Amino acid sequence: MDTSQGMSPVVDNNLTLPPIADAAAAPRIDCRNIKVFYGETQAIHDVSMSFPDRAVTALIGPSGCGKSTFLRCLNRMNDTIENCRVEGQILMDGENINDADVDPVLLRSRVGMVFQKPNPFPKSIYDNIAYGPRIHGLANGREDLDAIVEKSLRRAGLWDEVKDRLMAPGTGLSGGQQQRLCIARAIAVQPEVILMDEPCSALDPIATARIEELIDELRNRYCIVIVTHSMQQAARVSQRTAFFHLGNLVELGDTSQIFTNPREKRTEDYITGRFG
């Protein structure tokens, strides 16, 4: 697929896809009866869904529908929030990641995350990428680390722009470059899954297009879950789409089906702009 000419049209995207059915057969993550509570308030009601490997799943829905909360269950980031409680099973390689004996620190090295606002560390570009490999001991010596940094930056499509100033502070890059730096940083720890929480909401359309291209390239290697407010974005980058409303999973299906022929009335209302 040609990704050098800006955004790939939706049709093109769907044409090149492998059939979705085989992805459902071997899900990377399988969530069963997920409930999330903030104190007494229930934010997610009994959601069961699976995420195929080597495909992009988009979570869409109006603000406050619980899609970010659900995303954060997948790498147990909700653990860092005071009085947040998660119930249900999330199976990765047959293991429930909500089990008490699963170390969230190790889990997060397998499930990378990219946030809404670019959040590079106030360190150099190099150190931003090298941070993860260093704490997990992924590199044997300086040369190995250099190689990881270069590979990650290349995959994030940032290498050519920063290769001459790897020691410059990461906070000095533009917003779009910072977000690609954050993606590179997540890639550097060799995750199996990448979670993206509205990765383009703070970016201009051109930077957004670059990130979307990048997501499309990364799809070949990772299981990607993206939360987005932009239905066009969901249509452009994802193969599967899940529509959330008021903490419930309303509809889950192939992206083309959700956007052209939704089964649920609420889904249709939302994607045609009648609410949300």
Partner 1 sequence: MLQQLGQLPMGWLLIALIAVFGSAAFFLGRTRAERLLETSIGRMHSRPNYHGYYVAMCTVVPVLLIAVAYAIFADDLTRSQLTRELPSSFDRLSAPELQSYLDSVRMAAGTAASSGADRVFQAITNRYLELRGFVNAATLVLLGALAAIGIFWSQSRLRPDFRARALVENGMQLVLFLCAGVAIATTAGIVFSLLYESLLFFQKVSAWDFLTGTRWNAQTNAEFGALPLFFGTFMIALIAMLVAAPIGLFSAIFLSEYASPKARGWIKPVLEILAGIPTVVYGFFALLVVAPAVRQLAIWINELIIQVGLSSEPVLAAQPTSALAAGLVMGIMVIPFVSSLSDDVINAVPQTLRDAAYALGATKSETVKQVVVPAALPGIIAALLLAVSRAIGETMIVVMAAGKSARISMDPTSDLTTITVQIVSLMTGETGFDDPKTLSAFALGLVLFAVTLAFNVVALRVVKKYREKYD
Residue 89: is it exposed, middle or buried by C-beta count within 10 angstroms (0-12/13-18/19+)? middle
Q: Residues with Cβ < 8 Å from 235, sequence gap 6 or more?
A: 10, 255, 259
Of 45 and 151, CB closest to partner 1? 151
Q: Does residue 105 interact with partner 1 by CB under 8 A?
A: yes
**Listed residue (61, 102, 238) closest to 73, CA to CA:** 102
135 belongs to the binding site for partner 1 (CB under 8 A): yes
**Which residue type, as a one-letter code, is found at position 42?**
Q
- The Cα 126–Cα 185 span in angstroms is 10
Neighbours of 27 (CB within 10 A): 16
The contact pattern for partner 1, residues 159-188, with x = CB under 8 A and - = no contact, is: ------------x----------x--xx--
d(CA 135, CA 139): 10
Q: Is 240 in the site for partner 1 (CB under 8 A)?
A: no
Q: How many residues in the shown chain lie near partner 1 by CB under 8 A?
A: 27
* Interaction of residue 235 with partner 1, rule CB under 8 A: no
Burial of 100 (0-12, 13-18, 19+ CB in 10 A): exposed
> Nearer Cβ to partner 1, position 42 or 171?
171
Position 151 contacts partner 1 (CB under 8 A): no
Instruction: Identify the bridge partners of residue 193 per DSSP, sorted by sequence position.
Output: 111, 223
Q: Residue 174 or residue 272: which is nearer to partner 1 going by CB?
A: 174
The least distance separating partner 1 from the CB of residue 111, rounded to whole angstroms, comes to 8
Q: What are the CA-CA distances from residue 244 to residues 63, 171, 251 (Å)?
A: 10, 34, 7
Contact between 136 and partner 1 per CB under 8 A:
yes
Out of 87, 121, 161, 201, name the contact with partner 1 by CB under 8 A.
Answer: 121
Least separation in angstroms between CB 198 and partner 1: 13
Residue of 50, 69, 75, 177 interacting with partner 1 (CB under 8 A): 75
Ranges within 203-222 binding partner 1 (CB under 8 A): none
Which residues contact partner 1 by CB under 8 A?
75, 77, 80, 82, 105-109, 112-113, 115, 117, 119-123, 131-132, 135-136, 171, 182, 185-186, 189
